[in-house]
């Protein structure tokens, strides 16, 4: 994957910037589009902060829910963004045992039924055991608590994706 310097990024036209960073927040290029207008970026931390600010300050509750719902369920076998496939593969979710797959599927179903959106977790660096414990523990949250937690996880995922694209 190509890496760009902050100087390169600050010099990008809007369409190029959105093409490069539009998938950092899963299927929500609006975040990149609006963050571009906050240039110049001092560094990757500033870019990430400005993208998070677009979500926190510029999105309605309905738009935030749409962003959360854009994320695939853990262990999903269907169509996913390339970055999601890579992230889930990195922790072995593509090679789990039948029993583990059934457990994840069951918990995902219970979670989606309770909250109305998929369980979102930044899985990079996690183990299957940690993911399952987190999924079970988060079932005790309220919808508002879980929305907030899901957004925090999305911000972590976005940072991992930015780290893959930007030279530090």
Question: pLDDT digit of tens for each residue in the chain (168 aa)?
Answer: 668 999 999 999 999 999 999 999 998 999 999 999 999 999 999 999 999 999 999 999 999 999 999 998 887 666 656 666 677 666 666 677 888 889 989 999 999 999 999 999 999 989 888 999 999 999 999 999 999 999 999 999 999 999 999 998
Q: Which two tokens stand for residue 151?
A: 């957004």
d(CA 108, CA 113): 8
Catalytic residue among 48, 71, 141, 168: 71
Residue 116, CA distances (Å) to 8, 69, 98, 110, 156 in order:
40, 8, 25, 10, 21
**Residue 92: predicted pLDDT:** 67
- Range 144-153 contact pairs with CB under 8 angstroms and sequence separation of 24 or more: 146/115, 147/61, 147/64, 147/65, 147/68, 147/115, 147/117, 150/68, 150/117, 150/119, 150/120, 151/55, 151/56, 151/64, 151/67, 151/68, 153/120, 153/121, 153/122
Selection from 87, 88, 9 nearest residue 51 by Cα: 9
Instruction: Characterise 75 by phi-psi region: left (phi > 0), alpha (psi -120 to 50), beta (else).
Output: left
Residue 4, SS3?
Answer: strand
- Is 71 considered catalytic here? yes
Residue 153, CA distances (Å) to 62, 67, 97, 150 in order:
18, 12, 25, 5
**Residue 73: predicted pLDDT:** 86
């Amino acid at each position: 994957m190509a890496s760009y310097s902050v100087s390169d990024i600050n010099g990008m036209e809007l369409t190029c910037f959105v093409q490069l960073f539009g998938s950092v927040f899963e299927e929500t290029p609006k975040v990149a589009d609006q963050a571009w207008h906050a240039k110049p970026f001092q560094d990757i931390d500033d870019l990430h902060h400005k993208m998070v600010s677009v979500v926190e300050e510029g999105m309605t509750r309905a738009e935030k829910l749409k962003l959360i719902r854009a994320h695939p369920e853990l262990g999903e076998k269907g169509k996913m963004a390339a970055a999601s496939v890579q992230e889930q593969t990195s922790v072995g979710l593509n090679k789990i045992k039948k029993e583990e797959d059934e457990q994840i599927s069951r918990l995902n179903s219970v979670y989606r039924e309770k909250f109305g959106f998929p369980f979102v977790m930044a899985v990079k660096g996690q183990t299957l055991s940690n993911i399952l414990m987190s999924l079970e523990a988060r079932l005790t949250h309220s919808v508002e608590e879980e929305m907030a937690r899901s957004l925090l996880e999305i911000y972590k995922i976005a940072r991992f994706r930015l780290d893959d694209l930007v030279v530090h």
